[in-house]
Amino acid sequence: MSFLAGVQLEKHDKTKVDASEALEGKVIALYFSAHWCPPCRAFTPILKDFYGEVEDDLEIIFVSLDRSESELKAYMAEAHGDWYHIPFGSDTIKELSQKYGVSGIPALIVVKADGTEITKDGRADVQGGKAPSAVIKKWRS
């Protein structure tokens, strides 16, 4: 897990874990989103349901583009699944946004453990009507 080596991920309950430990053996989806974004607020519950069906195989990392930590926390409490986020204000947020060319949100970018991009269009895959297990299989192939 080289591309997030040393990065501490956090859950809403303040549990912290090193990224390499949390992501081992999983498909990784970077979810760029924000509380203030209406399309994000529409997609997040869909992603939460999707995650609930495949959480043994998938780890979502919320990369918040919220304007404050309180917005991030409120958004996680009201709409998110039990997934990790990069702590508010971390330089890693900007680094990931630049690395993957995020120009609009919501964006769900699926990557391998080494950070190699599988797809920038994870959102379309999640909303495409296929069973979540079939989507995970596609991402793994």
In the chain, pLDDT over 70 holds for what percent of residues? 99
For 3, left (φ over 0), alpha (ψ -120 to 50), or beta? alpha
Say how far apart CA 112 and CA 87 lie, in whole Å: 21
- Predicted TM-score (pTM) of the model is 0.95
**Domains of the chain, start order:** 8-131 (3.40.30.10)
How many residues does this entry show for the chain?
A: 141
Average pLDDT, stretch 85-104? 95
pLDDT higher than threshold 70 for residue 2? no
Say how far apart CA 109 and CA 115 lie, in whole Å: 10
Say how far apart CA 113 and CA 20 lie, in whole Å: 9
For residue range 19-62, what is the model confidence (pLDDT) as tens digits? 988 888 899 999 999 999 999 999 999 999 999 999 999 999 99
